[in-house]
Amino acid sequence: MTAAAQAEDRLEEHLADRLRDHLHRGGADLALEFGTDRYSWDAVGDVAAGLGRQLARLGIAQDERVGLIARSRPSHVATVWALLALRRCGTMIYGFQSAEKIADDVRALRCPLLLIDADDWSPVIAAAARDAGSAVLLLGPMSLSPAEGFEAVSPSADRSPREGVALQMLSSGTTGRPKRIDMPMGTLAASALSAAAQLDQLTAPDQIGISIFPLCNISGLYTVVPYGLGRRPLAILERFQVKQWVELVRRHRPASADLPPAAIAMILSNDVPRDHLASIRMIRSGAAPLDPAIHDAFEERFGIPVALSYGASEFCGIVTTWTADDLARHRPEKRFSAGRPITGVAIRVVDSTGGAELPPGESGLLEVRAERVGPDWIRTNDLVDIDDDGFLWFRGRADDAIMRGGFKIVPADVETVLRLHPSIRDAAVVGLPDGRLGAVPAALVELRRSDGDIDEAAVREWSRRHLAAFQIPAVVRFVDALPRTPSMKVSREAVKAMLAG
């Protein structure tokens, strides 16, 4: 075994041992808060111990998969901590799907054990679990118990181990069906232990954190695991809602916050008083582009700087961000960038056709090389440029581009113009097939108010004043709210379905 492999093994054991110690030790101090419910480390430890007994009873060995239909609820967080401590591979399934789609995943995965919230258990999913051969444990508010008739693993289950894999995580699903990505235990351990150490440096041990990201994606994972490692209290929101989040901020007074761009826009549009966020000194944002107008308006309203970052599940987390030194030296003029690469990461921009590396300032496809993932360059579908100082500027998605009669349209350019209209809160633009032009842009528009002061003709006139003729949406539809994924990104797939229907 190489020295690097030995070091990775030590990290893996350190993460598992540390979580196991916290769960075994228990204690009356606060571990998780969910609405008005508060759960101690004793309660969390009881769930972990119960899962350990069930794994032993079912004969599910280290590295075998355990499917978790994940929700951002206390028993689910406790289960993730326990799976990591017990060295089982947690396979995440979105809980924010229809029962039929969950059933499809259950049948395809054939995990020997399935963990599901009692609220989600239904005849449709039960039939799928029976076909898959899965034993089933039902999760309550802070409990687990076998589902009647599903107390054993059947031969049809896939018992093959996933050696060295901590979790099979889901990518965001922004442009289609989410992908499962194997997250090695060593990679997770290195990132989570580093994040836990940063928490130790920046916040008091009893400072309650706030988790708003879904547990089934990378942002949620990198919130809950460091808090578990640090034995720190964590307040959980199952879905982001402005009123509830502001109440948590006022009660717990965090010095920083992590918010996706959609949440920042929602806070701004809800006229939250400035003093309600007075404790926050910095907001970190990523997962999707933040409109520059919203960025500026938020900072002006609340006096809180917003630092952008870039990352993806494929890279097991963030790859570019802002350091304290960069904030001090470059923030005013580069505040709309996603920062610079973190240690162990290299980035470059390449031409989309030939793959040649492009010089600073030219837009092309982003490629990333991250030591924690491997030695190879990974090409994304993100259009970016990198300036002379190494800062990353996001320009849109290459696979969202619309070719209208030979003219290339980047939806983000059209969306930015639409959001400038005083009656439009948000907009999403996609391409629809057109027999003459190949494709045309279509816009789904979310209004600030629904009093009929804007119609399709008004949107087109606004577009005509600010866009090239080929960029003007051929179709405009209005909705109360844009469809979003669990991570609060706009779901391009759902937008296209609504506009095509």
- Rounded to an integer, the average pLDDT of 56-80 is 97
Average pLDDT, the chain: 90
> Does residue 8 register a pLDDT over 70?
no
> Does residue 105 register a pLDDT over 60?
yes
pLDDT of 373-411, one tens digit each?
Answer: 888 999 988 889 999 999 999 987 777 888 887 777 889
pLDDT of 256-270, one tens digit each?
Answer: 999 988 889 889 989
Of the pLDDT bands very low, low, confident and very high (cuts 50, 70, 90), residue 149 is very high
- Rounded to an integer, the average pLDDT of 164-192 is 76
pLDDT of 311-327, one tens digit each?
Answer: 887 787 889 999 889 98
Distance CA 375, CA 365 (A): 19
Structural domains of the chain, ranges and CATH numbers in brackets: 3-186 (3.40.50.980), 401-500 (3.30.300.30)
- Rounded to an integer, the average pLDDT of 80-84 is 97
- Rounded to an integer, the average pLDDT of 57-81 is 97
* Cα 322 to Cα 32, 255, 363, 387, 391, distances in angstroms: 29, 17, 21, 15, 9
- Length of the chain in terms of residues written: 501
Distance CA 174, CA 287 (A): 10
> Does residue 7 register a pLDDT over 70?
no
Residues contacting 319, CB < 8 A, separation 6+: 310, 311, 312, 341, 342, 345, 347, 368, 370
Of the pLDDT bands very low, low, confident and very high (cuts 50, 70, 90), residue 174 is very low
Phi, psi at 109, each rounded to 5°: -85, -40
Give pTM, 2 decimals: 0.82
